[in-house]
Amino acid sequence: MQEFPLKSKLDPAVYGPAESAITADLLEEQMRRVMTVEEAISQKRLFMLDFHDLFLPYVHKIRSLKHTTMYGSRTIFFLTDDGTLRLLASERTRPASPSQPQWRQVFTPSTDTTKSWLWRMAKAHVRAHDAGHHELITHWLRTHCAVEPYIIAANRQLSEMHPIYQLLHPHFRYTMRINALARSRLISAAGIIELSFSPQKYSMELSSVAYDKLWRFDTEALPADLVRRGMAEEDPTAEHGLRLAIEDYPFANDGLLIWDAIKTWVQAYVARFYPDADSVAGDEELQAFWTEVRTKGHGDKKDAPWWPKLDSPESLAHTLTTIVWVAAAHHAAVNFGQYDFGGYFPNRPSIARTVMPVEEPVDGAAMERFLDNPDQALRECFPSQVQATVVMAVLDVLSTHSTDEEYLGGEQTRPWNSDAAVQAAYAGFTARLKEIEGVIDGRNKDRKLKNRCGAGILPYQLMKPFSDAGVTGMGIPNSTSI
């Protein structure tokens, strides 16, 4: 969080008052009065899971469907002195409609029994929001969907013998096939996603809106992504040139090791074939490839000022590093741990089927049922048995590696030519990945790192390059595939 009070950017004339119901006094009470909200923000101690403005325009649309519901939501966390995040509060908002005013309420941890059960149900709702956002945006949109324009443009504009085609080709393996299967079974009308996740038939529309509002190539690079989300600040004196907002942030800590390894390899490869800016600008195939990515693959964003220009070895290397990162490591991080974290559906329900029983106007019968049997009310909010079973099966498939998978830095994708400089750079890349494997193993055994080591904590293994066990099953695949 970088500002307070929280305020929606949506039109209040349409959606109701923009100001959040989360007050400074409420947050300070939950922080046990150890500091003010202003102090917590200045010290980067408050973090937010924000599904408010993206989801709020879809609340009434989704609620018109059977056996599902939706809210706009904000959930606030406090960074404790031991480096872990503690939940403070979670807000639910139903926008105004022609027949009802806006409704919103903040839920907090409580020792009061009724409020404690409401808190459990509120958490189930936000976990369902997070599950849908993860599958539709973080996973599908930012990896599977976003990689397609690179693949199509490369095959249309680069010859198979072109050095950049040869560099990128391993990172495009099977992606078009798995995307075609997803369109026919997973994200299709009445497919598994629409049947089992809260947005239901609005899933792809929501993903498209998120693309329009949020996706831009220059923030898909890991360092830029961390900075954009407020999880890091640029600092030339810090490792990787970034100072993390949370020191023990496994995705960032391990991911930056992989990012730097990919960048070093790609820079060496580019330097071998492109000694200066003129050699990059004068490569007609390369320029045609990038023009097609921008103007055809992203026609609605083609004139955006943030697109990098391929006008130097440095800009080319950064662009290619971003593509490789997204296709390989980013996809591995958001895909292969899905079953371990979401296979037990109460930990990560894919859908919330009932509204909060205290929503105004309060349904007296629903409130009575909740008070009489809150456990039953919570189970009715969770996915149905059929939905939970289907999602568990799908997450198991998504989290499983192909028997003929090719991995980052592996022998199967050693560069095609016998150029000594290229071969030496790739060997260095492979050796660095093996070193990173050891670093990650050490971190996962470090008791001081409480976000990856301790009772009930899964060790973070999604970035282990060559692992044959653990969450990923086996290393980081070269491409967005399963």
Just list the catalytic residues. Answer: 139, 144, 331, 335, 482
Positive or negative, the CA dihedral 342, 345, 351, 352 is: negative
3-state secondary structure 16-78: CCCECCCCHHHHHHHCCCCCCHHHHHHCCCEEEEEEHHHHHHHHHHHHCCCCCCCCEEEEEEE
Answer for the pair 137, 208: CB distance below 8 angstroms, yes or no: no
HSE, side-chain direction, 13 A CA sphere, residue 322? 20
Q: Which residues pair with 75 in a beta bridge?
A: 49, 90
Cis-peptide into 313, omega within 30 deg: no
Rg (alpha carbons) of the chain, rounded to whole number: 24
Answer for the pair 39, 4: CB distance below 8 angstroms, yes or no: no
Distance CA 378, CA 58 (A): 23
**Angle at the Cα of 396 (from 392 to 401), degrees rounded to 5?**
170
Answer for the pair 51, 133: CB distance below 8 angstroms, yes or no: yes
HSE, side-chain direction, 13 A CA sphere, residue 145? 18
Answer for the pair 440, 250: CB distance below 8 angstroms, yes or no: no
Scan for tokens 């930056």, then name that residue: 256
Report the number of secondary-structure helices (H) and strands (E) in the chain: 22, 6
Distance CA 203, CA 212 (A): 14
The side-by-side arrangement of strands in the sheet containing 85-94 is 46-51, 72-79, 85-94, 103-107
**Spatial CB neighbours of 354, under 8 Å, sequence gap ≥ 6:** 69, 366, 377, 380, 381
